[in-house]
Amino acid sequence: MANSGIELSEDVVQKFTDVKSNHKLKYVTYKINFPDKTKIIVDKQLDATDPVAQDCQSCWEKLTEELEDGEPRYILYDVKNQYKDGRKLENIVFVSWCSDNCNIGKKNDSRFIKGNTEEEVNRNQWDRAPRCRQRRLSVRRGTR
């Protein structure tokens, strides 16, 4: 359990396996279940067989369009691309996303909650996959 008291749902762990080991999903986004603020739950996902998932740029654009401006998200993204010289790139990326407009609730700042739960999400997933090469990326997007 994170310092914020927010736990991971079992579905979060299963989706990690679907991205990392089974490659069934191109990406999965997680969120805090507002207004209860008791669990990290699965928000959205993209099946690896979806035509959008085949093009890295289109997939990333779809993902960023789905992010809601007012709520933080954790993203697990299966990066598969090919360099111009033919070499392949395959990595699992953990993205912690929080827009500048994130502030849900009058008493609890969602950025604070997100920061306290990020380490729990990250530790829980990577501890289950010690051979997975960890890449962390924080994404900032301008306001809409």
pLDDT digits (tens, 9 = 90+) for 110-137: 555 656 666 666 665 555 444 444 444 4
Block residue for tokens 């306290």: 116
pLDDT value for 49: 93
Global pTM exceeds 0.85 = no
Least confident of 16-20, 56-60, 67-71, 87-91: 67-71
How large is the C-alpha radius of gyration of the chain? 15
User: With bands split at pLDDT 50, 70 and 90, how would you rate the model's confidence at 85?
Assistant: very high
Percent of the chain with pLDDT over 70: 68
DSSP β-ladder status, 39-47 and 88-97:
unpaired
Block residue for tokens 């914020």: 4
Q: Which of 103, 26, 115, 34 is nearest to 66 (CA)?
A: 26
User: With bands split at pLDDT 50, 70 and 90, how would you rate the model's confidence at 39?
Assistant: confident
Can you list the alpha helix ranges (DSSP code H) found in the chain?
10-20, 56-66, 110-127
What does pLDDT average to over the chain?
A: 76
